[in-house]
Structure 1
Amino acid sequence: MDEISTSTLFIVLGLLVLCSAFFSASETGMMSVNPYKLKHLANEQHKAALRVTAMLERRDRLIGLILVGNNLVNVAASSIGTLIGMRLYGDFGILIAGIVLTLIILIFGEVTPKTLAALHPERVAFPSSVVLKPLMKVLYPVVWLLNKICNTFLGWLGVSAEQHHGSSLSSEELRTVVHEAGALIPQQHQNMLVGVLDLEKATVEDIMIPRNELVGVDINDEWKDIVRQLSNAQHNRILLYRDSVDDALGFIHSRELARLALKDQLNKASLLRSVREIYFIPENTPLNTQLHKFQSSKERIGLVVDEYGDIQGLVTLEDILEEVVGNFTTDIADYQNDEILPQADGSYLVDGGINLRDLNRDMQLNFPTDGPKTLNGLVLEYLEEIPEASLGLTLAGCPMEIVEVQDNMIKTVRLMPHLQQN
């Protein structure tokens, strides 16, 4: 009779260890499940995901349920293990049972199931929720009392479990998630996603075409000169001004020019009547804000002004979108940019007026962009004087040589990224 009873106790002990493993795995699986994957599945009406989502809305109750169940089975297992040890080895069996049972619970009831659940949280959390949900109803009075006591202590510490709504990602954390996606998201798509996040870090001043590079048509010029400039225009929208850019009149679309030409109505008066009102943009407007403003106002181009209302440059919708999608080629040797000319020795002749953000993006460099906006400005700020040609220096780890200085500006710089210091 004692032998049968002892065998039965071994079976019950084994079942209790399995229950302990279940609760341990459930705890880790429920807490480790990817919240964004879970939300995605819940939005697709995945039954198990909906069930897990509902239980995770009150994590304090879920944890209380699991810990109550786990402690009950562990205490029961300890009692039965002690009884088995006493039957087999007498009083000395208590010590043996304690040591052996501790090892069994640690290996099979804690470490192994928790490791498995951490590696495959969804595979554990979804099926375990089938058991945990009805178990919550059975043990709810105990769980409620336990949570009431615990939440009271947490309240004294200024923590409210009822006001917990999960975690949200900051832009920096989201940027890390994108980078860590690896092969799940193609590199080009990762760059675009990061580009969207970086829009809030830059302003229109960072990407605008500066005032001294603006191309337009002076309406006070001779008509034949105006026609020649309009015929050779390389942009769809042409800026018209009177005497100087400060007296800008507006933009005219090439499509409107073609319409006037077909009707034989192309003259100064018709140009002035067809010009579109200028859309002005403060220079410190963040790119993400300006993108939204372009969209809401149905505009694609605007003149950038400073705090005094003086025109500083021009920015287009395409300029902002390029910050997201980048250039249409990733090979710098094939990149058709007159401002960056590859040389046979591996160096590059670069226009001193190039925008630093464009230079960094095109050549994968790391020049600082929080100060001067051009390479010329960056070098002048560093040297604190106008240099002579043939001067060599290193900025942001990139060796360079001043090739040409003209009109108090650095016109050409030779960059040597192949000699870049790491």
Structure 2
Amino acid sequence: MDEVPLGLLLLALASLICCSAFFSGSETALMALNRYRLRHLVAQHRPAAIRAQRLLERPDRLLGVILLGNNVTNILSTVLATVISLRVWGETGLAIGTGLLTVVVLLFAEVAPKTLAAIRPERLAFPASWALSGLLFITYPIVLLINGFSNALLRLVGVTDMEADATRLSREEVKTFLHDSGRHHMESEQLEMLLRIMDMGAVVVEDVMVRRQELDMLDLQDSWEELREQIKTCPYSRMPVCRGGIDQLLGILPLRRIIGRLDEEAAGSQLIEENLQNAQFVPEGTPLTVQLLNFRQNRGRMAMVVSEYGDPMGVVTLEDLVVEIVGELADRETLLPDFVHPQEDQSFLVRANVNIRDLNRRMGWLLPEEGSRTLNGQILDYLEDIPRPGTSILLGGYPVEIIKTDENAVIMVRVSPQLGSETVN
């Protein structure tokens, strides 16, 4: 190479360093592409996105052609740097040339292009995909040979599938993805609704039903005057009807059918029986998503929840499922008196038969939801006994004092602010 001008050698070395930077940056850019955005662009038939997707489907071939090109350019760069060093500094210049080349390659062919590619992957990956696809076509036999040896080594450690794994996310990972992405692109209420919908598959009707102890029912053993007054003051559009208790359920009464006939002279309990609809029954473990489809299929709005033994446990309505998606339809102040009574010392008197999940959602608390679904059940599971009034325990960091009990259950408790927090939401 003595006849080759020094300027031409320097130009060739600079070109090789640029090629090395291209291979280094394209590797990082392609691997850093957002897979979900890439699929979106592929669905829009973007040629560059389609080509990049094809390359990423076989990462062994993609990395093979990139590393082949990178190593060839780096080896040639070393040869040229050696020739230039010998010509400029002589035998003593080899160390100088090696050191300078190392710094230049590190800065301009590794760190800088890879950093840029990590920050702006699409700007580099899509143009690079055209060049890499062509280079892969040209060098395919060599890449195939190299991959054959590397894949054989991978099989020794149990890796047999060389195609990239599909991007699979768990429910919690999808929720995290929605939370991180959605907060920049949608209203907080919309994001909250999406997250609630994600939770519906993990929540069952037992978690949201109105329990039999709290159920407002029409008992045909009561007098007509009592039934009429109960119907007039009912805030709901439907009511279960029984004869002697929920275990003797007769059906569901749509109140709109009889609300205008309650004061007729001939009106009586037979008016209720004539307008009954058959009750729908659902197992206690039915997911909310399934029950929502059941309501749509059966055109219903109310269903009886039964245990594994067929015993009625409560009622779930379409409104209960809507609340799970959009949140409470009334403001918090109107909900607190139902089962929570705030005290001057920032504690709350709470009915112990309340559903813990409902309590957490309405109050913003973090009481444990694993195990028993009611506050009473959690306390009994914790103590393994019926506690006396005045007994205090710690549930999820919240001091809980037993206020009232009966022979087999806790009736009322006092919940104080969580330890380490100044207020309770």
Kindly state the Cα deviation for residue 285 of structure 1 after the two structures are TM-superposed: 2.2
Distance 1:158 1:49 in 2: 32
In structure 1, the residue matched to 2:212 is: 211
Kindly state the Cα deviation for residue 253 of structure 1 after the two structures are TM-superposed: 1.2
8 Å contact from structure 1 (residues 220, 242) kept in 2: yes
Distance 2:347 2:201 in 1: 33
In structure 2, the residue matched to 1:357 is: 357
In structure 2, the residue matched to 1:160 is: 160
In structure 2, the residue matched to 1:381 is: 381
- 1:284 aligns to 2:288 (yes or no): no
Q: Which moved more, 1:55-64 or 1:147-156?
A: 147-156
In structure 1, the residue matched to 2:91 is: 91
In structure 1, the residue matched to 2:7 is: 7
Cα-Cα RMSD: 2.8
* 1:329-348: CA deviation from partner (whole Å, max 9, x where unpaired): 7x855755421222333222
- Count the aligned residue pairs: 421
Query: Kindly tell me: are residues 154 and 293 of structure 1, through their superposed partners in 2, closer, same or farther at Cα, counting changes over 3 Å?
Result: farther
- 1:308 aligns to 2:309 (yes or no): yes
In structure 2, the residue matched to 1:241 is: 242
**Which residues of 2 match residues 24-63 of structure 1 at below 5 A?**
24-63=24-63
**Which residues of 2 match residues 139-178 of structure 1 at below 5 A?**
139-178=139-178
SS class of match (2:5)? helix
5+ residue gaps, structure 1, are none
In structure 2, the residue matched to 1:257 is: 258
Kindly state the Cα deviation for residue 324 of structure 1 after the two structures are TM-superposed: 3.3
Kindly state the Cα deviation for residue 55 of structure 1 after the two structures are TM-superposed: 1.9
Distance 1:206 1:54 in 2: 46
Q: Which moved more, 1:385-394 or 1:354-363?
A: 385-394
* 1:386-410: CA deviation from partner (whole Å, max 9, x where unpaired): 3444444332211233333356543
Query: Kindly tell me: are residues 93 and 270 of structure 1, through their superposed partners in 2, closer, same or farther at Cα, counting changes over 3 Å?
Result: same
**Which residues of 2 match residues 17-28 of structure 1 at below 5 A?**
17-28=17-28
SS class of match (1:234)? coil
8 Å contact from structure 2 (residues 397, 418) kept in 1: no
Distance 1:417 1:410 in 2: 20
Distance 1:397 1:421 in 2: 10
- 1:103 aligns to 2:103 (yes or no): yes
Kindly state the Cα deviation for residue 36 of structure 1 after the two structures are TM-superposed: 0.7
TM-score by length of 2: 0.89
**Which residues of 2 match residues 272-351 of structure 1 at below 5 A?**
272-328=273-329, 335-351=335-351
5+ residue gaps, structure 2, are none
In structure 1, the residue matched to 2:413 is: 413
Distance 2:265 2:140 in 1: 86
Distance 2:248 2:221 in 1: 11
2:195 partner letter = V
Q: Give the percent of matched residue pairs that are identical in Structure 1 and Structure 2.
A: 38
Distance 2:9 2:296 in 1: 73
Q: Which moved more, 1:303-312 or 1:219-228?
A: 219-228
8 Å contact from structure 1 (residues 398, 421) kept in 2: no
Distance 2:63 2:100 in 1: 28
In structure 2, the residue matched to 1:64 is: 64
* 1:276-326: CA deviation from partner (whole Å, max 9, x where unpaired): 111111112233333333333333321111111111111123223323333
**Which residues of 2 match residues 179-198 of structure 1 at below 5 A?**
179-181=179-181, 183-184=183-184, 185-198=186-199
SS class of match (1:201)? coil
8 Å contact from structure 1 (residues 397, 421) kept in 2: no
1:253 partner letter = P
Kindly state the Cα deviation for residue 147 of structure 1 after the two structures are TM-superposed: 2.5
Query: Kindly tell me: are residues 110 and 265 of structure 1, through their superposed partners in 2, closer, same or farther at Cα, counting changes over 3 Å?
Result: farther
**Which residues of 2 match residues 74-89 of structure 1 at below 5 A?**
74-89=74-89
1:290 partner letter = Q
8 Å contact from structure 1 (residues 60, 161) kept in 2: no
Query: Kindly tell me: are residues 145 and 4 of structure 1, through their superposed partners in 2, closer, same or farther at Cα, counting changes over 3 Å?
Result: closer
In structure 2, the residue matched to 1:114 is: 114
Query: Kindly tell me: are residues 156 and 259 of structure 1, through their superposed partners in 2, closer, same or farther at Cα, counting changes over 3 Å?
Result: farther
